[in-house]
Amino acid sequence: MPAEKVKIIAKNNKAYHDYFIDDKFEAGIELAGTEVKSIRQGNVNLKDSYCIAKDGQIHLHGMHVSPYEKGNLFNKDPRRVRRLLMHKREILRLQAKVKQDGYALIPLSIYLTHSLVKVELGLARGKKLYDKRADAAAKDARREIDRTLKMRNR
């Protein structure tokens, strides 16, 4: 069986900066036809988007899908709330986690797999300012080490 062909459309890099990602999930997304065409062109932004699990459903808020240029009549509101598609048991488990343990559901990326648009969700805990500083310091140290190793290998 060939490996799954995945084409990443958009990533939410800010999520990795603002949150500790404890677990990742895959969800389908309910879209209109012109939204799918726009997403295929890469006209989507996940910055400041989040998910809410309520009443056995998960909704994605704050995702911006630019209107499709050739779909004037059929275009939807770019920032409308979109429903995510997951198994009921998974949704209820995520809903309980978010409610009890203070987690948040954050979309990490949007990608195409087998011509379907999928969203990668992260079960995330918020970072404090000192956590962000520590991560930045570790990243700088790694970059410095790589730079010196590269210079020595020349």
* Structure confidence at residue 71 (pLDDT): 65
- Summarised one tens digit per residue, pLDDT across range 53-70 is 888 899 999 988 888 777
Residue 76 CB coordination number (10 Å): 17
Low-confidence ranges of the chain (pLDDT < 50): 1
Overall pTM > 0.75:
yes
CATH number of 7-127, picked from 3.30.230.70, 2.30.40.10, 2.40.440.10, 2.40.280.10: 2.40.280.10
- 82 and 39 in contact (C-beta within 8 Å)? no
Cα–Cα dist 40/27, whole Å: 17
Domain extents in the chain? 7-127
